[in-house]
A and B are shown apart, each in its own frame.
Chain A
Amino acid sequence: MSFLEIDHVTKYFSGSDGAGDLCVFKDVHFRIEKGEFVTMVGHSGCGKSTLLNIIAGLESASAGGIVLEGREIAGPGLDRMVVFQNFSLMPWMTVWENIRLAVRAAYPKWDRQRIADYVGQYVAMVGLSGSERKKPAALSGGMRQRVGLARAFAVKPKVLLLDEPFAQIDALTRGAIQEELIRMWTATRNTVFMVTHDVDEAILLSDRIALMTNGPEARLAEIVEVELPRPRRRESVVEEPAYNRLRKHVIHFLVERSRKLQEQKEEGTPAPAFGRAPVSTLSS
C-alpha cells in the first residue's frame, strides 16, 4: 500500500453560460511514497494547482479520489498543510500570531508556555527571530514565505503541499529559501508534493518529477526519476552531467512534447496508456 495515492483523478470545470463542461485534466494516477519529494511540472492551465487543491481537500475531484494511508480524504485537514503561492498569511496577525494560530490548532492540548516555546523554535528555524512582532505587510516576499514554511512545518503534517511556493519571490532570495526548504525537509523527511513551472527548482528539490501535457484535458505523461545524490547544493548540482541531461529532457518535454501529446489526443489517435505513467530513468 502506498502512502499517498492520486487515484485516477479527473477534474471538470462547469462551463459558463451554457458552454459544456471543461475538462482540466483526466485520469491522473500516481503514487507518492512516505518521505518522498514529488514535483509536478506543466504549463499554465494543465491543472497542476487544481490537483494540489484536490489533494488538500480545498476542491473536489470530478472522478477518482485521493487516498492517504489507505483512507480516502474528504475535505481539508491538518494532515495536509499547504504552502501557498501568495503566502496566505493573515495580514492582521503578526509573524508570531500567524504561526501560533497553526500550532494551537495542531496541538490543542498544549499549554501557553509549550506553545510559545514551540512557536519560537520555528520562528528561529526560518531565521525570523527579531521579526516576530511584524505584520506580513512589513515583510519582503521571501520573509513572508519563510513564515508560510514555518507555519506548515510546525504542524508536522503527513503531506506537505507546495503550490508554486517561490513564484512570487525574487530570483536571488528564491535560492536561499529553496535551500532553507531542503534543510527543513532533510531534517523532517516530510512527504512533499509540489507544483511549479521552474525546471531547475524541480530538479534541485525532487526525487521524482511528474510531467503533465498541456490543458485542457491534460494528462500525466511520465514521471522522471531525479537520480542526483543528496544533499544537493545549488552551486554544485548544476555541474553533474545527470543534471543537464534531466534538464534537457524536461525542457524538451515542456517545449515540444507536452503540446504534441495533447494534439495527438485531440486528433483522436489513441494516446499511449497514461493510466500508469511510465517511469523513465534516463540512464546514460
Chain B
Amino acid sequence: MNGTVKRSERKTVLLSSVLLLFVFLALWQLSVKPSVGGRTEGLPGPGAVAERAWEMLSNPFYDRGPNDKGIGVQLVYSLGRLGAGYIAASLAAIFLGVVLGLYPTLYRAVNPYIQIMKPISPLAWMPLFLYTIKDSGKAAMMVIFMSSLWPTLANTAFGVGSIKRDYLNVSSILQLSWTARLFKVVLPAAAPAIVAGLRISMGSAWVAIVAAEMLIGGTGIGYFVWNEWNNLQLSSVIFAILTIGTVGVLLDLGLGRLAKKLAYAE
C-alpha cells in the first residue's frame, strides 16, 4: 500500500515539475521581443537557445583555435582543473581534519585561523597565486584548492572529534595498530560527516571554477561564458549557464551516492 501511495505522489511531483517548466518557457517566450528584420532585440527566446544547444551538443568536441572550442572540450578543461584542485584539497583537508579531530587542544588552537580563512572568497587569493606560481592554469587550480579545503576540513575535524568513546575504547582494548585504528575505526566512523563536507566543498569548487576561469581566460566553461558574452552570443551564454547547473547536479549526485554507501545506523 505504502509503495503505491508513494508512487502516485511521485507522479504528482513529476507532473507539477513538467508543468512548471512549460509555464516558465511560455513566460520566457512571451517576454522576448519579436525579431525585427532577422535581428532579435534583448534576450533570445527558448527556441533560439534550444537551436544553439542542438548545434553545440551535436559537435561538442571540436577545437578550432583558442577562441573556438566545443562545449565538451571546455567542460573537460574545467573538470580537469576542478578534479586536480579538489582531490588535492580533499586529501589535505581529511588528513588535517583527522589530526585536529584526534587532538582537541590543537583543534582549539587552530580553530580561530580556520574561522578567518573560511569566509574568504577563494578568488581573493588569485593575485597571490598568480604572483607566486606564475602560471594562470595552476593558479586556477589553487583557487579550487582553497575553495574546497575548509568545508571538508571543518567537517572532518568535527566528525572525528565526535566519534563515540565506545568505538575508541574497543580499539584500545583490541590494541589495534594506528593504521587499523585509522582505516577500520576513525575514518569509517567519521565518514558520513566527511562526505557531507566533501559535498559542500564540491559545490563551492564548482561555483569558484567559473569565476576563476573568467579571470584567467583561455579555456574552460567559465572562459566560454565570458567569450560568448564578448561575442554577444547570448543564446550560447544561456545554454552554458544551464550546462553549468546540470554538471553541478551530476557531481553532487555522485557524492550523494557515496554518502549513501558510507552512511550507517547506530
Chain A interfacial positions (CB closer than 8 Å to B): 56-58, 75-78, 80-82, 84, 86, 88, 90-93, 101-102, 104-106, 135, 137, 155
Contact = CB atoms under 8 A, between A and B. Distances in A.
Nearest to B176: A105
A116 to B, nearest CB: 17
B170 A88 contact: yes
B188 A76 contact: no
Contacts of B55: none
Nearest to A104: B180
Interface in B137-190: 166-167, 169-170, 172-176, 180, 184-185, 188-189
Contact of B167 (A56, A58, A90, A105): A90
Given A135-B265, A137-B266, A105 B174 contact: yes
Nearest to B185: A90
A75 B172 contact: yes
A135 B264 contact: yes
Given A90-B167, A92-B264, A58 B172 contact: yes
B174 to A, nearest CB: 4
B266 A76 contact: no
B191 interface: yes
28 contacts: A57-B173, A58-B169, A75-B172, A76-B169, A76-B173, A76-B175, A77-B175, A78-B175, A81-B173, A84-B166, A86-B166, A88-B170, A90-B170, A90-B188, A91-B264, A92-B188, A92-B189, A92-B262, A101-B174, A101-B176, A101-B184, A105-B176, A105-B180, A106-B174, A135-B265, A137-B264, A137-B266, A155-B174
Interface of B: 166-167, 169-170, 172-176, 180, 184-185, 188-189, 191, 262, 264-266
Contact of B175 (A58, A91, A92, A105): A105
- The secondary structure that dominates the B interface is helix
A192 to B, nearest CB: 16
B147 to A, nearest CB: 30
Contacts of A106: 174
B175 to A, nearest CB: 6
B176 A88 contact: no
* Closest CB pairs A-B (n = 7): A137-B265, A88-B166, A105-B174, A92-B264, A92-B188, A76-B172, A76-B173
A56 B184 CA distance: 22
A155 B175 CA distance: 12
User: Which of A75, A91, A155 is packed against the most chain B CB atoms within 10 Å?
Assistant: A91
A90 B184 CA distance: 9
Contacts of A82: 169, 173
A76 B180 CA distance: 17
A77 B239 CA distance: 63
Given A92-B191, A105-B180, A77 B173 contact: yes
B174 A102 contact: yes
B266 A91 contact: yes
Contacts of B188: 90, 92-93
Contact of A88 (B169, B191, B262): B169
Nearest to B169: A58
Contacts of B175: 76-78, 105
A91 B169 contact: no
Contacts of B265: 91, 135, 137
A58 B265 CA distance: 26
User: Which of B169, B170, B184, B188 is packed against the most chain A CB atoms within 10 Å?
Assistant: B170
Nearest to B188: A92
Contacts of A137: 264-266
Given A80-B173, A92-B189, 11 more contacts: A77-B173, A82-B173, A88-B170, A90-B170, A90-B185, A101-B184, A105-B176, A105-B180, A106-B174, A135-B264, A155-B174
Contacts of B185: 90
A78 B173 contact: yes
A29 B173 CA distance: 24
A74 B39 CA distance: 86
A86 B184 CA distance: 20
A105 B185 CA distance: 13
Contacts of A135: 264-265
